[in-house]
Amino acid sequence: GPPGTGKTKTALGILAVLMNARAKQAKAVSYRRTGGAADPDADNDADKAEDEEVTEAAIAQREQERVRLLRARAPWLCGGFVPIKETVEQEVPVSGGHSWRHPFPKLAPDQVVSMSEVTEDAAPQKVLVCAPSNAAIDEVLRRVVREGVVGPDGTPIKPSIVRLGPNVHPGLEEYSIESIVGRRLAALSDAPNLNQREEEKQRLIRDARIVCTTLSVSGSRDVVGYEGGFDTVVVDEASQGVEVSMLVPLKLGCRRLILIGDPKQLPATCFSAVALEHEYDRSLFQRLQMSQHKVNLLQVQYRMHPSISSFPSEHFYEGCVGNALDEIEFEKKYHAPWSRLPCFAPVAFFDVKGEHQESHSSLVNEAEADFVIQFFATLTVLWPDEPWHQKLAVISPYAEQVKLIRQKFKALFRLSEKKSPCPVDVNTVDGFQGREKDCIIVSAVRADPQKKTRSIGFLRDRRRMNVAFTRARTNLWIVGYVKVLSRNEDWREFIKRQQASARMLRVPRPFNTFLARYLKSYYGRNPDVAQPPGGLSKLDDTAPLQEDDLELEISAQELEEMEKKEEEDAAYDRDIEEVSDSDTGSAAGESGEEGGKEPQAGGAGKGMYVPPRQGYVPTPRNNPQGVPSAWAATAGRGSGMVVKPPGR
């Protein structure tokens, strides 16, 4: 599912089908996985027939009847159905009486399965919903709780659901298994013991129709110890997890696996050149896709203005993604009067000729940060009734630039305390994947034309570019330096399109008063054009807007919510970007590109990564064998390296 096509909505639809799947009454048919077939309702004469040919014919007839019932009454179950007899004959025995299908006998499903469980008024008994990160699985849980799933009568219902694992979003704490168990046991008169806690957890898992957890936690004792098993595993954001992490829930022996993701967005992060050479960063989704496994593409996007979606669709998805609404219909549905001005068009590129500086192995660009603040302030002055701090977000590839912009926003809102949250959503591109806002400002940061290399660092990653350009609904405003960004083919193509559409504005110095000068000149040339509700009186083309010029109000509740969100995003701030944007002595440096300054794959907080504060970067110097990070952590404990598992 490309951006905006409704992957999570599709996941809810899949859950609705699974929750409501029913078949007409049918006779129970049982069979054994380890050989033969047993049917308690079969004719006694047939069961006791000594003639081998008659017995085989009876078994074949029962198998054909089972297939017919499945196709007629449970079509959702029949994708690649193989008669059990053929499956048994294909099993390869191994030592210990195990089979290749189930090398872990304790985790295998019950040996005797009643067909009445799947054909006689029975839906899948249990669905395990996984995602590589806590943020992704919390988003699925939030949508299920908020929207519910469609019930048998077409009305939304909220199924019994429980969330396993740590780091649950504060707003979803009531669905955490630890929280529920704690509340239940607290009501007991006697002090609960460990056995009671484990029994209560198993009871909650047994009673829940949907169990949500991360890929890594799906291998925990709570999940593996559940004897009932899971009929179905649904993995959201499946392209963000490395292939081996997908094996964790699969060992539970599910009957069907559903993967939802987009391999053209940021994947898991992998730093080892050897691991990359052997495609360790590849997801199971990608492997299946490359193996010509059938993939269903969601081809209609509902999020973005057509002017925003046109470049990603044509450049990243070969033009296969269309729009649910054309421009006229979209603008009627999502009213954005500022978009009529060229400088606030649905897509606009601002050529800011600043300079970036290195800061803590990251990059900052003061000129772009000041321009972003004035851009927000100008919008607030011109359309004072709009809740800009809620509908606008700023994203940047570099964590230090995010930190700088947050500081400037706090100053704009007179929030001088260091612990005060930023009143505007400012985040890294990696940290913003999977989210959206009405308006997005992208600060590209890179602006050093004196560099002799033609690399633009990890800005050249097409997947990161795709994520950055597809977060906005009504407006995408990009701030960068054309001369530097044009070194890259993808950015050059994007810039050419903006030039051809008159959507590129060159920003002369001083940058922080450009919009005031531009707007006064524009309305001077077009006196008949209606001015914004806030008027132009507060715009000063000689000095930037100050705090006193703005009417900024933010409630204590909003600040509290933002503080919680910043705590949630704390793990995203610098870990990935600083390690992966540092000089790792990669092949890129040897081929004329600027060594380092980009990750081999994106995805802050997704997949495995090494926190830079631990002082370890897998370079040839401290990892001479090129051992992948996860393997080195196992083989060389005590070396100071920490590998963080998937999830926030």
- Global pTM reads 0.72
- Residue 568 neighbours by CB under 8 Å, 6+ apart: 135, 169, 170, 648
Q: Is 603 left (phi over 0), alpha (psi -120 to 50) or beta?
A: left
- Is 642 part of a structural domain of the chain? no
Q: Which amino acid is at 355?
A: E
- CA–CA distance, 471 with 395 (Å, rounded to integer): 9
Q: What is the 3-state secondary structure (H, E, C) of 299-348?
A: CEECCCCHHHHHHHHHHHCCCCCEECCCHHHHHHHCCCHHHHCHHHCCEE
End-of-domain residue from the set 538, 561, 584: 561
pLDDT of residue 276: 83
Query: What is the C-alpha to C-alpha distance for residues 137 and 299, in angstroms, rounded to an integer?
Result: 24
**DSSP assignments along 462-491, one per residue:** HHHHHHHHTSEEEEEEEEE-HHHHTTSHHH
Other CB atoms within 10 A of residue 261 CB = 24
Strand-strand pairing, 156-157 and 504-507: unpaired
Average the pLDDT over 598-623 and give the result: 35
Task: Report the mean per-residue pLDDT for the chain.
Answer: 76
Q: Ramachandran region of residue 308, left (φ > 0), alpha (ψ -120 to 50) or beta?
A: alpha
Q: How are beta strands 472-480 and 347-352 bridged, if at all?
A: parallel
Residue 351's domain comprises: 335-561
Phi-psi region of 79 (alpha: psi -120 to 50; beta: other; left: phi over 0): alpha
Q: How many domains does the chain have?
A: 2
Residue 140: both structure tokens together: 């699925």
Check whether residue 236 and residue 347 sit in a common domain.
no
503 inside domain: yes
Confidence of residue 453 (pLDDT cuts 50, 70, 90): low
Specify if 250 maps to a domain: yes
Residues 406, 464 share a domain: yes
| Side-chain-facing half-sphere of 416: CA atoms under 13 Å | 2
Percent over 90 (pLDDT), the chain? 45
Residues 6+ apart with CB under 8 A from 212: 129, 130, 137, 140, 141, 144, 161, 162, 163, 164, 175
Question: Domain end: 511, 531, 561, which one?
Answer: 561
Q: Which helix (H) or strand (E) holds 156?
A: strand 156-157
Length of the chain: 648
> How confident is residue 368, by pLDDT bands cut at 50, 70 and 90?
very high
Beta strand pairing call for 362-364 and 357-359: antiparallel
Domain-located, residue 75: no
Q: pLDDT band at residue 541, thresholds of 50, 70 and 90? A: confident
Three-state SS annotation for 12-48: HHHHHHHHHCCCCCCCCCEEECCCCEECCCCCHHHHH
243 and 360 belong to one structural domain? no
Examine the domain organization and report whether 495 and 354 are in the same domain: yes
Contact 232, 11 (CB under 8 A): no
Query: Could you tell me which residue, 65 or 86, shows the higher pLDDT?
Result: 65
Here the CATH number for the domain that contains residue 497 is: 3.40.50.300
Domain assignment of residue 484, yes or no? yes
Higher per-residue pLDDT: 110 or 351? 351
Non-local (6+) Cβ contacts of 548 within 8 A are none
Separation between Cα atoms, residue 536 and residue 540, nearest integer Å: 9
Contact between 475 and 439 (Cβ < 8 Å): yes
Q: Tell me, yes or no, whether 456 and 384 share the same domain.
A: yes
DSSP 104-135: -GGGSPPSEEETHHHHSS---S-EEEEESSHH
**Cβ neighbours of residue 406 under 8 Å, at least 6 residues apart?**
422, 426
Instruction: Say if residue 608's pLDDT is above 80.
Output: no
Q: Which residues contact 478 (CB under 8 A, 6 or more apart)?
A: 347, 348, 349, 350, 441, 442, 444
DSSP letter assigned to residue 613: G
Two tokens at 572? 């995203």
Going by DSSP bridges, is the β-strand pair 37-38/30-32 parallel, antiparallel, or unpaired? antiparallel
Residue 529 covered by a domain: yes
Q: How many CB atoms lie within 10 A of CB 65?
A: 15
Minimal CA–CA distance to 598: which of 586, 581, 583, 610?
A: 581
Q: What is the pLDDT of residue 591?
A: 32
Is the same domain home to 294 and 341? no
- Using a 10 angstrom Cβ sphere, with 0-12 exposed, 13-18 middle and 19 or more buried, the burial of residue 105 is exposed
Give the mean pLDDT of 496-517: 92
C-beta of residue 321 within 8 angstroms of C-beta of residue 313:
yes
Tokens found for residue 189: 């008169």
The CA radius of gyration of the chain, in Å to the nearest whole number, is: 28
Question: Between 190 and 373, where is the model more confident?
Answer: 373
Q: Rounded to whole angstroms, what are the CA distances from 256 to 80, 162, 234, 235, 598? A: 10, 21, 9, 11, 37
Q: What does the pLDDT look like over 546-596, one tens digit per residue?
A: 666 666 666 666 666 667 666 666 554 444 444 444 433 333 333 333 333
Answer whether the bond into residue 170 is a cis peptide, omega within 30°: no
3-state DSSP call for residue 552?
Answer: coil
Residue 48 in domain: no
Which residues face 117 on adjacent strands?
A: none
pLDDT tens for each residue of 242-277:
999 999 999 888 888 999 999 999 888 777 888 888
Nearby residues of 203 by Cβ (< 8 Å), 6 or more positions away: none
Using DSSP, state whether 428 is helix, strand or coil: strand
Q: For residue 76, what pLDDT is reported?
A: 55
User: Considering the domain boundaries, does residue 232 fall inside one?
Assistant: yes
The pLDDT tens digits of the residues spanning 268-287 come to 877 788 888 888 888 999 99
397 Cβ neighbours under 8 A, 6+ residues apart: 428, 429, 430, 444, 445, 457, 458, 459, 464, 468, 577
Selected residue with higher pLDDT from 408 and 97: 408
Is the four-CA dihedral 614, 620, 621, 622 of positive or negative sign? Answer: positive
Please give the average per-residue pLDDT across 298-323, as a whole number: 96
Domain check: are 270 and 354 in the same one? no
pLDDT of residue 394 exceeding 90 = yes
pLDDT level of residue 361 (50, 70, 90 thresholds): confident
Contact partners, residue 330, CB within 8 Å, separation at least 6? 305, 306, 323
pLDDT for 231: 86
CA neighbours closer than 13 Å in the CB half-sphere of residue 124: 25
pLDDT > 70: what percent of the chain? 66
Q: What pLDDT, on a 0 to 100 scale, did the predictor assign at position 636?
A: 34
Residue 73 scores a pLDDT above 90: no
Q: Which of 278, 298, 318 is where one domain is finished?
A: 298
Q: What are 366's two structure tokens? A: 């003061």
Say yes or no: 344 and 281 in one domain.
no
200 and 266 both lie in a single domain: yes
Detail the DSSP E strand segments found in 489-558: 504-507
306 confidence band (pLDDT: 50, 70, 90):
very high
Residues 466 and 519 in one domain: yes
Q: Which residue has the higher pLDDT, 162 or 597?
A: 162
Dig out the tokens for 185 from the structure: 């046991």
What is the arithmetic mean of pLDDT over 489-505?
A: 94
**Do 386 and 274 share a structural domain?**
no
Looking at the structure, tell me whether residues 290 and 417 fall in a common domain: no
Dihedral sign for Cα 605, 611, 617, 622, please: negative
